[in-house]
Amino acid sequence: MHDILSHYRNDGYAIIEDFFSASEVEELRHAGEEFTKNLPDESERTIFSTTKSEQASKNYFLESADKVRIFFEADALDENGKLKCDSSLALNKVGHALHYLHPVFRKYSFDERIKEICFQLGYQDPVIPQSMYIYKNPGVGSEVKSHQDASYLYTEPLALTGFWFALDDATLENGCLWMIPGSHNGGVHRRFIRNPDKESKELLVYDRSEPIYQKSAFVPVPVKKGSCVLIDGLVVHRSENNKSNLPRHAYTLHVIEQQNTVYSPDNWLQPTNDYSFPSLYRNN
């Protein structure tokens, strides 16, 4: 564990191989695939994309902190919401309260192994603000643009870690993660916030223009099924389209420190009057 934490602190990410067993991966994967068999009505289908901004104008996305919401790939739907591909390939992701509302994802999100890593990282009272099942399906799995997770889940002082679990082998061909090692030392480059202009149709906006990162600075992070990738909230990362005929499913969650920190009130994702982000150490 010492070497893993050292790598995480030096480079902004680290790989833990065989974090979940084959049977645990299968249980998570089966739970994710179940969502493809019970899709929302055509009129309620919403696309998620990091290269387009449809979700920025919809409460369906904005109000998902305490809900399980289904998001489609841009190329999976026609203008009327009808499927252009098989339902098993249509979803981009499901989020953002899987860790709290779904029994399978809750079991693994509050796993003792995750608690131990957070303890080793020095978290005093970590909470889980969001979780996602990401599909990245063959042929239609879309690009995730270069970003920092802290752009979306900002705290002062910053204390954010992502746990990214590979439920398939993640390769160069099917859209593995790419990182800029050491980029977690450069602060937050921009933030995705609730629009202060209440008259605008855009409910969410970026506070600054998109940074430009040299492509040569990124290194690929291919991992085997069952691996966990720890991701510092400030490290710049991305993933490319799935151009292969193999899936690249993943489950991911984020942890933030609650003790002596302030969760920004203009973050896109907010707790509600009836729902607080659940404590990692105090929930089962």
CB distance 76 to 89 below 8 Å: yes
Query: Phi and psi dihedrals of 168, rounded to 5?
Result: -140, 165
Q: What pLDDT is stored for residue 153 in this prediction?
A: 98
270 falls within a domain: no
141 falls within a domain: yes
Q: What pLDDT is stored for residue 265 in this prediction?
A: 96
For the chain, 284 residues long, give each residue's pLDDT as a single digit of tens: 779 999 999 999 999 999 999 999 999 999 999 999 888 665 556 665 544 445 444 677 888 999 999 988 877 777 767 787 777 888 999 999 999 999 999 999 999 999 999 999 999 999 999 999 999 999 888 899 999 999 999 999 999 999 999 999 999 999 999 999 999 999 999 999 999 888 888 889 999 999 999 999 999 999 999 999 999 999 999 999 999 999 999 999 999 999 999 999 999 999 999 999 999 998 76
65 falls within a domain: no
- Length of the chain equals 284
229 falls within a domain: yes
* Tokens 């991305």 -> residue: 238
117 falls within a domain: yes
Q: What pLDDT is stored for residue 52 in this prediction?
A: 44
57 falls within a domain: no
Q: Could you tell me the maximum CA-CA distance found in the chain, to the nearest angstrom? A: 52
201 falls within a domain: yes
Q: What pLDDT is stored for residue 16 in this prediction?
A: 98
Domain count along the chain: 1
- CATH number, domain containing residue 134: 2.60.120.620
45 falls within a domain: no
Q: What pLDDT is stored for residue 82 in this prediction?
A: 78
Please name the residue ranges forming H helices in 50-102. Answer: 59-62, 98-101
Q: What pLDDT is stored for residue 76 in this prediction?
A: 75
Q: What pLDDT is stored for residue 142 in this prediction?
A: 85
What is the C-alpha to C-alpha distance for residues 248 and 140, in angstroms, rounded to an integer? 11
Range of the domain at 193: 2-20+97-263
